[in-house]
Amino acid sequence: MREKAIEAYLRDRVKALGGIAYKFVSPGNAGVPDRLVLLPGGHAFFPELKAPGKKSTPLQAMQQKRIRELGFPVYEIDSKQGVDEFIQVCEGLIVK
């Protein structure tokens, strides 16, 4: 499975929850996570999508650490199962 397929699956699953999965690009800040996920109730997450078995580069890991230190959750996801696990976390935060 390709990273793009996992990213599209994440985008669709987040949309089904009523959220938005913006493609996150920050000029001058290489290595930032792929997506900024915003959910109802004011929840924000930074998923880094990878092809199965792939890991973040040292630059990506540094950026993820900086974001976590500011109090935002960062997830590295490399499969549809990983997306499903992330979505379970999200579902637990949304007040219905």
pLDDT in tens, 65-79: 999 999 999 999 999
Q: Does domain 3-93 have CATH number 3.30.420.10?
A: no
Find all residues with CB under 8 Å of 24, minimum gap 6, and list them.
32, 33, 34, 35, 36, 46
Tell me the one-letter amino acid at 82: G
- Residue 39 and residue 18 in contact, taking contact as beta carbons nearer than 8 Å: yes
> How does pLDDT run across 34-57, given as a tens digit for each residue?
999 999 999 999 999 999 999 999
Write down the pLDDT at residue 94. 85
Write down the pLDDT at residue 1. 78
What does the mean pLDDT of the chain come to? 95
Please report where in the chains the tokens 């630059």 appear, as a residue.
Answer: 59
**Confidence band of 80 (pLDDT split at 50, 70, 90):** very high
Break the chain into its structural domains and give their ranges: 3-93
Write down the pLDDT at residue 96. 65
- Residue 14 and residue 90 in contact, taking contact as beta carbons nearer than 8 Å: yes
Please report where in the chains the tokens 């219905």 appear, as a residue.
Answer: 96
